Structures are given as structure tokens and as C-alpha cells.
């Protein structure tokens, strides 16, 4: 029977383990002594007086119908989430979220310098595209879909007030969009309005809008249902 090979690491490991245990015991003893004698367990004045971080505030006429308070998907719960994850929690953005996944553009929402997402509602997509055209975009015409999504992305994570102050922004598609308004809402390209703005997510801001931007033809509305 072969004898096991003993390496320097295997010979010294028991000694290292005993030493680690001894150091841990000493550290625990010092911690207990320091706590009992010096009041180290009392929070410092700076820590005691630190104000809690303010919860993100969203604004717009649609916000009251979206998750709030302690509901899953409320603005505070979405803060710090990746943008593609946060989109899944906003029930009026199912089409936009599906478009992001279908186009393979999730990584574009996590850019190092941040991004502003102007996300049209499901109703906005239904008004813009017929069911057949929307299916074609999501299932087969990925290049057109990616171009459409870039019409709704702006480099840099910008709050609503930042957009209004700038007066105009350039989308990742190269389109210039004018921004006017204030008082918790803004109008974009004189055709879309923000209906719930300023979701703060990881490296991005999400502003929900009520109209699809870009120059694709409108085929939706009353006469834009699926062909039979």
C-alpha cells in the first residue's frame, strides 16, 4: 500500500489552524474587554445623527396606478436594480421589456456612463403598431427593433429636471429630441409626455412615456389589429 505524500502545506496546516484559532480567541477577548470598558458598542455621534437615505420619488399622472409603498416593484425596491430587471416589475412596460430582451439590447441599458430610458407604455405601442407589425418587430425584424429602441435611449443617467434644463437631448439613434415642461412632467419631441418619471435604477433613469418616438409608420389604433 502506498504511503500518502506529505507536502509542506499538509505538515504545517494543523499548526496554522491552531494559530488561527488562538488569534481569533485573543481578538474576541479584546473586543469584549474594549466593549465593556470603553463603551465601544455605543454608536458614534456621527452615526447616530446620520439621516436615513431619502426614498426615490417618481412623478406623473400614472404613478398612482403603479407599485408603491411596500408593494413589489415600488421605486425604493427598484433603486439599484439592473435596468432590465427593474423593467420587469413595471406592469405597463411589458412590451418595451419584451422588446429589450428580443433585441438583445439588455447590455445597452448597463453602459458604464449610464443611460436614460424613455420607455413607452403598452398602450403607446398598441396605438403605434398593429399586432402583426409588432409581432414582426419582436420575432423577425430585429434590426428595425434595435433602431426603434435606440430612439428611446439617451446617453447618461438624467433626471427629469436634467432633461428639462437641457431643453434637448440626442438619442442613441442620433435623433434630437426637444424637451419642454416642468412641474413633475415633460413633453418630448412635442408628441410624448412623461407619465411616471424618475425611476432610479443601477446606472440609469427610467421615464415612462405615453407615445412611441421615432419615424416608423403608425399602423396601430382602431384599424391596426391582426390581419385575418
pLDDT digits (tens, 9 = 90+) for 119-133: 999 999 999 999 999
The CATH code that applies to domain 63-209 is: 2.30.180.10
- Integer angstrom CA distances of residue 14 from 7, 26, 157: 13, 19, 53
CA distance 101 to 110: 13
More confidently predicted of 80 and 151: 151
pLDDT digits (tens, 9 = 90+) for 11-48: 333 333 443 444 344 344 434 444 444 444 444 444 44
pLDDT tier at 56 (50, 70, 90 boundaries)?
Answer: confident
Instruction: Give pLDDT, residue 18.
Output: 40
Mean pLDDT for 110-119 is: 88
Alpha helices in the chain (DSSP H): 8-38, 45-48, 75-78, 83-88, 94-103, 122-128, 131-139, 142-150, 160-166
On the question of pLDDT at 112 being above 80, the answer is no
Instruction: Give pLDDT, residue 71.
Output: 95
Nearest to 196 by CA among 97, 59, 57: 59
Helix (H) or strand (E) holding 195: strand 192-201
Instruction: Give pLDDT, residue 19.
Output: 38
Instruction: Give pLDDT, residue 225.
Output: 58
CA distance 204 to 72: 19
The vertex-89 CA angle with 88 and 95, nearest 5°, equals 45
pLDDT digits (tens, 9 = 90+) for 91-110: 999 999 999 999 999 988 88
φ and ψ at residue 185, rounded to 5 degrees: -150, 165
Looking at the chain, the whole-number percentage of residues with pLDDT higher than 90 is 67
Amino acid at each position: 500500500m502506498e504511503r500518502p505524500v506529505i507536502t509542506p502545506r499538509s505538515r504545517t496546516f494543523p499548526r496554522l489552524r491552531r494559530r488561527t484559532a488562538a488569534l481569533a480567541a485573543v481578538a474576541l477577548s479584546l473586543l469584549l474587554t474594549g466593549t465593556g470598558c470603553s463603551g465601544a458598542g455605543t454608536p458614534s455621534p456621527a452615526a447616530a445623527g446620520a439621516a436615513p437615505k431619502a426614498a426615490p420619488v417618481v412623478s406623473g399622472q400614472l404613478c398612482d396606478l403603479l407599485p408603491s409603498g411596500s408593494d413589489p416593484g415600488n421605486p425604493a425596491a427598484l433603486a439599484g436594480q439592473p435596468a432590465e430587471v427593474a423593467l420587469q416589475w413595471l406592469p405597463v412596460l411589458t412590451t418595451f421589456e419584451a422588446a429589450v430582451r428580443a433585441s438583445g439590447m439588455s447590455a445597452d441599458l448597463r453602459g458604464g456612463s449610464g443611460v436614460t430610458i424613455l420607455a413607452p407604455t403598452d398602450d403607446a405601442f398598441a396605438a403605434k403598431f398593429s399586432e402583426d407589425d409588432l409581432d414582426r418587430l419582436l420575432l423577425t425584424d430585429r434590426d428595425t427593433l434595435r433602431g426603434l429602441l435606440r430612439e428611446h435611449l439617451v446617453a447618461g443617467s438624467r433626471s427629469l429636471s436634467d432633461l428639462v434644463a437641457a431643453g434637448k437631448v440626442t438619442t442613441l439613434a442620433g435623433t434630437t429630441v426637444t424637451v419642454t415642461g416642468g412641474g413633475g412632467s415633460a413633453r418630448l419631441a412635442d408628441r410624448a409626455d412623461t407619465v411616471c418619471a424618475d425611476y432610479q435604477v443601477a446606472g440609469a433613469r427610467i421615464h415612462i412615456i405615453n407615445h412611441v418616438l421615432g419615424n416608423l409608420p403608425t399602423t396601430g389604433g382602431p384599424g391596426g389589429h391582426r390581419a385575418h
